[in-house]
Amino acid sequence: MTFKILFLDIDGTILMPNHTYTESTKTAIQQAKANGVEVFIATGRPLIEVKDLAKELNVDSFIGYNGAYAIYQEETIINEPIDEKQVRQFLDIAKENDNELVLYTKDRNYYTSLDHPFVEQFNDIFQLKQNSLFTYEVVDQIIGVTAMNLQPAEVSLYEVEENIRMSQVNIEGATMAYDIIRKNVNKGEAITKILKRLNIPKEQAIAFGDGLNDKEMLQAVGEGFAMENAHPDLFDFAKHRTTSVSDSGIFNGLKKIGLVK
């Protein structure tokens, strides 16, 4: 099989808990590109926060905000803001239940509080820097939302309609945080659009992930890999299981299908 495109999650897939990556991960990306493979970073993170990592890895195409925004070689090809009415619903629910939200635009990360201990912990874990206090002036520009400090019984409150699902963040220290994902706007839907645009069949696409926000992504490609450190429920959606992020998971997965040596 000739493979043409590779999609890589960041946290728990490229990056280890200490915010670094193995040298084999960079080698795998270099070898894939040398073999003519287009490489995308595909993350729930805001893209304004991944520029340095992308430069180190020599990647210039992205899916961000869990599929709501995508860039292909500096051209914006997907931009799917959340309906303003839904954003206001999420804000009301958070206020009623003492939860906190981070609401992402393409330029900033807007928090309902900047000094709540859980917000500070979340920022420390993900090293987010482009942060501001939320204002309703940007309520129509939101392309992604993460809810924080949720008790299990509160998770379903945010599923305000059939199109919304909650995805627990698969990072130690952030398990009380959940990405709010639209079933028609996610990494998998973004990949499907990109494959169509680039005229690449599903069978020639590869993806690696570790969180439940990656389940649609792993199903949208021919060769979907779940990291050994993945959320246990993700393995049901992956064709392959590779080693952990700390044990050359991307390199070993690509070696398994003959793309790297």
CATH of the domain at 174: 3.30.1240.10
If asked whether residues 52 and 108 sit together in one domain, one would say no
If asked whether residues 68 and 107 sit together in one domain, one would say no
What is the predicted pLDDT for the residue at 7? 98
Q: Is 107 part of a structural domain of the chain?
A: yes
Residues (pLDDT < 50) of the chain are none
Q: Tokens for 241?
A: 């299981």
What is the predicted pLDDT for the residue at 174? 79
Write the pLDDT tens digit of every residue in 167-180.
Answer: 999 888 777 899 99
If asked whether residues 141 and 88 sit together in one domain, one would say yes
CB within 8 Å of 187: residues ≥ 6 apart: 7, 42, 63, 66, 67, 209, 213, 214, 216, 217, 220
* 48 CB-contact burial (10 Å; exposed 0-12 / middle 13-18 / buried 19+): middle
What is the predicted pLDDT for the residue at 173? 77
If asked whether residues 59 and 106 sit together in one domain, one would say no
Q: How many domains does the chain have?
A: 2
Q: Tokens for 219?
A: 């199903």
If asked whether residues 88 and 178 sit together in one domain, one would say yes
- Residue ending a domain, choose from 129, 164, 182: 182
Domain range for residue 237? 5-80+185-256
Q: Is 261 part of a structural domain of the chain?
A: no
Q: What are phi and psi of 213, to 5 degrees?
A: -75, -5
- Residue ending a domain, choose from 166, 182, 198: 182
What is residue 245's DSSP assignment?
A: G
CB within 8 Å of 20: residues ≥ 6 apart: none
If asked whether residues 137 and 75 sit together in one domain, one would say no
The pTM of the whole model exceeds 0.85: yes
If asked whether residues 137 and 88 sit together in one domain, one would say yes
If asked whether residues 208 and 161 sit together in one domain, one would say no
- Residue ending a domain, choose from 156, 182, 208: 182
If asked whether residues 167 and 189 sit together in one domain, one would say no
